[in-house]
């Protein structure tokens, strides 16, 4: 499972990334945001702090990704569900 927070000009994630990894993940998030709608293996979320609900999302997305032959499921935080626009300003 790959979880990121979308920002207007960047992707924030816990951990140290190489420049190549960071650029790949920025590109990946941009491609996910271009999708016409969410898929069974992609969730776009404004925010959520309920650990049980987050766990359910992760479990469902992982299962859906496996069933569809996808290597990963994705949750992208900080995104408007309908427009897919990032909601956070880069700090």
pLDDT tens-digit readout, 29-73: 889 989 988 899 998 888 888 889 888 888 998 899 999 999 888
**Residue 46 contacts by C-beta under 8 Å, 6 or more apart in sequence?**
77, 78, 79, 80, 81, 87
Radius of gyration (C-alpha) of the chain in whole angstroms:
13
Residue 84 confidence (pLDDT) = 82
Highest mean pLDDT among 10-14, 54-58, 84-88: 54-58
Distances (CA, A) of 45 to 6, 20, 27, 69, 81: 10, 26, 18, 23, 6
Residue 13 scores a pLDDT above 70: no
Whole-number pLDDT of residue 4 = 52
């Amino acid at each position: 499972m790959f979880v990121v927070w979308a920002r207007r000009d960047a992707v924030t994630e816990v951990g140290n990334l190489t420049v190549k990894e960071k650029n790949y993940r920025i590109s990946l998030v941009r491609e996910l945001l271009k999708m016409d709608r969410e898929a069974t293996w992609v969730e776009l979320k404004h925010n959520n702090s309920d650990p049980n609900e987050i766990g359910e999302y992760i479990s469902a997305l992982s299962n859906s990704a496996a069933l569809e032959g996808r290597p990963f499921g994705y949750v992208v935080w900080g995104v408007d569900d309908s427009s897919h626009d990032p909601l956070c300003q880069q700090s």
